[in-house]
Structure 1
Amino acid sequence: MLLKDIRDYQILFLSLFLILGIGTRDWTLKPEIIGTAIATCIITQSLFSFIQTNKKNITFPPLTNIRSSLITSLGLSLLLRAEDWKTMTLAAFLAIASKFVFQIGEKHFFNPANFGIISALVLTPDAWVSPGQWGEEWWYGLLFIGTGGMVLQKIGRWDTTAAFLSAYSLIEAMRNLWLGWTWDVYLHRLMSGSLLLFALFMVTDPRSIPNARIGRIIWAVCIAILTFILRNYFYLSTAVFWALFILAPLTILIDQVCLAPRFIWSKKTFQTTLTEV
C-alpha cells in the first residue's frame, strides 16, 4: 500500500522537486531523458533482483524493487544533465548495478545515484551537473529542509546530515574569516539547493552509509573536509559528489570498527523478515 513506507514519501518529495524545478527554474529537461532514467532503473533493478533471488530461492515483494529504483532514477533526473538519452541509460544502469556488484556482507557501499552521476561524468562527453540550478531563493531551502527532515526523522539518520552540514559550514566560515571576506560571500557558498538535496537525500542513504551513529558522524565529517578541499583547492564544482564517491568504501572499514546492527526497512511494510538488497 502506498504511503505506508517512508520511501513513498521520498518518491513523493523528489517528484515534487523535479516538477518544481521544471516549472519554476526553467530547466531544459527532456521528458524522454527522465523516462529513460526511470525505465532503465526499474528494468535493471528487476533483472538483478530476479537473478539474485533465484539463486537464493526467495521472493521479494515487487514494490521493493519499484521503490528503490524510482528513488535512484528521480535522484539522477534531479542532479544529472545529459544531451543524449544513451548517457542517462548508462548512468541509470550503472547506478543500480553498483548495488549488486559493490557489496560486502549483502550491504552495498556506493550510493547508487551518486555512482551513476560519477560514472556518467567520467565515461561520457555530454554529462554534467549544475550545482547552482536552484539559485539562492530562501524558500527552496525551507522546502528541502522541511521535507528532508521528515524523512530523516523517520529513518533516524538526521545525525549524518547535521554532521556534514555543521562541519562544512564551520570550515567555510574559518576560510571566510581567514581571507577577510564579507559574510554575504559565505552565505552565497552555502545557499545551494543541490548541496541541501545532497545532504538531506543522498549522504543519508541508510543502506550504504555506516551503521553506527559515531561511525556516521566521523564519515560525514570526512566527506565535508574532502568536499572543502576539492572545491577550494582543485576547483571542482562537483566536489560534493566526488567526495562521497571517493570515501564510500570507507563505510566498510567503519562498520568493522564501530559495530552496530545493519539498517533494515520496516518488516511490517513488507510482511517479511528478509532485507532488501
Structure 2
Amino acid sequence: MWQQDPRNNQILFLSIFLVLGISTRDWTLRPDLILVVIVSCLLTQWLAAFLWSNPKHRSAIKNSGDLSLSFLGLPFLCLPLGFNPKPFFQTTLEWCKIQTLETILNLLRKQPNCPQDNDATIASSPKSPSLKSAMITALSLSLLLRADNYSTMVLAGSLGILSKFIFRVEGKHFFNPANFGIIAVLILTNDAWVSPGQWGDDGWYGLLFAGTGSMVLKRVGRWDTTAAFLGAYAVLEGIRNLWLGWSWDVFCHRLMSGSFLLFALFMLTDPRSIPNAPISRLLWAVCIALLTFILRNQFFMPTAIFWALFALSPLSVLLDFIWSSTRFSWDDSDFVE
C-alpha cells in the first residue's frame, strides 16, 4: 500500500532532506516554526476540504474564485529591458488576497439560496480529505522558506493550501501550493526570505536529489517536464558562459545548486497543477526556463526560479485549452484534494 502512492515516497524523501540539511549543512532552523507550518497546512487543508464538500460552500468558493485570464494576462513573456516585474507580481498577489477575503465572507454568510453546481451530487456526503499533499506542501516550505515569526509561516502555509481551492479552472488548480505560499509571504511580509544557496553545490547532494527525484517522477510520469526545463536552461546558461568567456566551473555551479535541483525535481513537476498534455508540459517548462534565465541574469534575482513558476502558472490553463489530455489524478483524489 505504501508503494502504491508516490506521495508517500515524496513525504519520506522531503523529510530525509530536512533532517539532512539540519545535520550536515548547519541550518539554524527552529523546530517550532516547522511544527507551525505543518499544523497550518494540515488544518487549512482539512477545513477547506470540509467546506468544499458542501455544495453551498463550494458554490461560494467558485463564485469568488472565478478567474479572468485577461486580467492575469501574460505580459511577463515579453519582458523589456529595464522592466521591473515585481509590481506586476504584487498586483497579482493583492488581487489574490481580495479573492481570499471574498471567499471567507461568502462562506460566513452561509446564504441558503446559493446556486447548486453541476457536480453537487458527488458531495451529498462529506468525504474525508487526504492530507498527504498538504504534508508535502508543509515540508517543501520548511525546506525552502525562512522566517522569524509564526504569523509568516502560518500565512505561507494557509495561503498556499487555499490557492488550491480558490484558483481553479474546471476543477483543476494551477498554482503550486508551496510556490504560491513562498511568493505570497515574500511580497506581503518583511521577514521572509529564501536561501537558494543553502545546499551548496556538492556533487553528492545532486546525486541524492536526482536519484530520489527520479523514483517519484517515474511513478507520476513527469520526467519530460524536468528534462525540458533542465535542458533548456542548460543550453541558455551554456551559450551565456561561452559568450562571456567564463570557465565551465561557473556553468556547473549554476546547474548543480541543491535548491535548483529540488525545484526542478519536486516542485516544478507537481502533476496536479502542471499542463496535462506532454507537448504542453514541454512548452511550459521551456518558457519557465527562459523566464528564469532572464530574471536571474537580467534582473539579478537569486530567487528567479520561484518567481518564474509563479508568473507562468496561469499559462497551464491556456495550454490545457489548446491541447486537451487526460488529467492526472491520485488514487484517492477527488474535489477535496
TM-score, normalization: structure 1? 0.95
Q: Which residue matches 1:112?
A: 177
Distance in 1 (alpha carbons) for counterparts of 2:234 and 2:282: 15
The one-letter amino acid of 1:5's match is D
Distance in 1 (alpha carbons) for counterparts of 2:125 and 2:315: 30
Contact map agreement 1:25 1:133 (CA 8 A) in 2: yes
Alignment of 1:9-48 (within 5 A): 9-48=9-48
The one-letter amino acid of 1:182's match is S
Q: Which residue matches 1:182?
A: 247
Can you give the 5+ residue segments of structure 2 that lack an aligned partner in the other structure? 56-122
Question: The residue matched to 1:237 in structure 2 has which SS?
Answer: coil
Identity %: 61
Q: Give the Å deviation of 1:32.
A: 0.7
Q: Which residue matches 1:265?
A: 330
Q: Which residue matches 1:220?
A: 285
Question: The residue matched to 2:197 in structure 1 has which SS?
Answer: coil
Contact map agreement 1:265 1:275 (CA 8 A) in 2: no
RMSD value, Cα: 1.2
1:157-209 deviation digits (Å, cap 9, x = unpaired): 00000000000011000000011111111111112000000000001000000
Q: Which fold has the larger relative contact order, with Cα–Cα distance below 8 Å and residues 6 or more apart in sequence?
A: 2
Distance in 1 (alpha carbons) for counterparts of 2:127 and 2:224: 30
Q: 2:301 aligns with which of 236, 256, 271?
A: 236
Distance in 1 (alpha carbons) for counterparts of 2:2 and 2:38: 18
Contact map agreement 1:42 1:69 (CA 8 A) in 2: yes
Distance in 1 (alpha carbons) for counterparts of 2:215 and 2:195: 26
Q: Give the Å deviation of 1:80.
A: 0.3
The one-letter amino acid of 2:141's match is L
Rate the CA distance shift 1:53–1:276 in 2: closer, same or farther, 3 A: closer
Contact map agreement 2:52 2:336 (CA 8 A) in 1: no
Higher Cα radius of gyration? 2
The one-letter amino acid of 1:43's match is L
Contact map agreement 1:215 1:255 (CA 8 A) in 2: yes
Q: Which residue matches 1:209?
A: 274
Is residue 98 from structure 1 mapped to residue 149 from structure 2 by the alignment? no
Contact map agreement 2:49 2:336 (CA 8 A) in 1: no
Matched residue count: 270
Contact map agreement 1:264 1:276 (CA 8 A) in 2: no
Q: 1:59 aligns with which of 126, 135, 147?
A: 126
Distance in 2 (alpha carbons) for counterparts of 1:3 and 1:215: 29
Q: Give the Å deviation of 1:275.
A: 5.5
Q: Which residue matches 1:171?
A: 236
Is residue 6 from structure 1 mapped to residue 6 from structure 2 by the alignment? yes
Is residue 156 from structure 1 mapped to residue 235 from structure 2 by the alignment? no
The one-letter amino acid of 2:13's match is F
Contact map agreement 2:14 2:139 (CA 8 A) in 1: yes
Q: Which residue matches 2:63?
A: none
Contact map agreement 1:231 1:237 (CA 8 A) in 2: yes
Contact map agreement 1:212 1:260 (CA 8 A) in 2: yes
TM-score, normalization: structure 2? 0.78
The one-letter amino acid of 2:175's match is F
Can you give the 5+ residue segments of structure 1 that lack an aligned partner in the other structure? none
Question: The residue matched to 1:128 in structure 2 has which SS?
Answer: strand
Q: 2:263 aligns with which of 186, 198, 203?
A: 198
